[in-house]
Amino acid sequence: MTSATPAKLIAYFGGTFDPIHYGHLRPVTALADEIGVTRITLMPNNVPPHREQPEATAQQRKRMVELAIAEAPLFSVDDRELQRVTPSYTIDTLETLRGEMGDDQPLAFIIGQDSLLTLHTWHRGRDLLNVCHLLVCARPGYRTTLDTPEQQAWLEAHSAEHAAALHAQPHGLIYLAHTPLVTISATDIRQRRQKGEPCDDLVPPAVLHFMDAHDLYR
């Protein structure tokens, strides 16, 4: 690094956000505090290759993200994946971000524990460490160890014990965060809406209002 001031860690959080909920917002807000980042960019994805198509449209999912973060200066939104017509693999987006930021900028991608467990099925999943760190939020109901001894050894070989290391190198570390466990999933929210059950404590009020106004997940 040539600058006298070390670059601040930049963190992105990708997801289908169908819809965005407190299970996204609360752990990631706590994570920012835990590791000392002041900005997290939410990146709604389009046509996720390993998942069924979202129920809400791309524009509706993006709008719900905007509404959810309207009063939270920690967050911003980047809709670059929604602009693409082809499937947006996470590695492609992170390589693009790395190209934009240069080699020295510490860059991280946030995932939940369930995503870490399936990372080996992602397109070039492990290559992510060549361009960013992985920050993993705990999620209730998911194992904290990986499936095979080989996967677990890979995890341990890249694990960062202390958050400070994330700021000191541009990529290559996995950080298992000590974030609060929040038992909320978008699947559950969609099912509750289908059955006409309340979702008041699961999403921000403005998101609930939007879902009602657009009759989403009914």
Residues that bind ligand ATP (CB under 6 A): 15-18, 23-24, 27, 111-112, 114-115, 137, 139, 182, 184-187
Nearer to ligand ATP, 9 or 117 (CB): 117
Write the CB contacts of 144 (distance below 8 Å, at least 6 apart in sequence): 113, 138, 176
Q: What is the rounded (10 degree) CA torsion for 13, 18, 23, 29?
A: 30
Nearer to ligand ATP, 7 or 188 (CB): 188
CB 90 within 8 A of CB 109: yes
* Shortest spacing between CB 184 and ligand ATP, in angstroms: 5
* Shortest spacing between CB 177 and ligand ATP, in angstroms: 10
**Greatest extent of the chain over all pairs of C-alpha atoms, in Å:** 57
Query: How crowded is residue 32: how many other Cβ atoms within 10 Å of its Cβ?
Result: 22
* Shortest spacing between CB 187 and ligand ATP, in angstroms: 3
Single out the residue of 47, 66, 127 nearest to residue 92, CA to CA.
Answer: 127
Residue nearest to ligand ATP (CB): 112
Nearer to ligand ATP, 62 or 139 (CB): 139
Give the DSSP letter of residue 213: H
Question: Rounded CA gap, 113 and 121, in Å?
Answer: 14
* Shortest spacing between CB 26 and ligand ATP, in angstroms: 8
* Shortest spacing between CB 103 and ligand ATP, in angstroms: 26
* Shortest spacing between CB 168 and ligand ATP, in angstroms: 25
Question: 110 is written with which tokens?
Answer: 């946030």
Nearer to ligand ATP, 7 or 87 (CB): 87
Preceding amide of 205 cis, omega within 30: no
CB 192 within 8 A of CB 199: yes
Nearer to ligand ATP, 6 or 180 (CB): 180
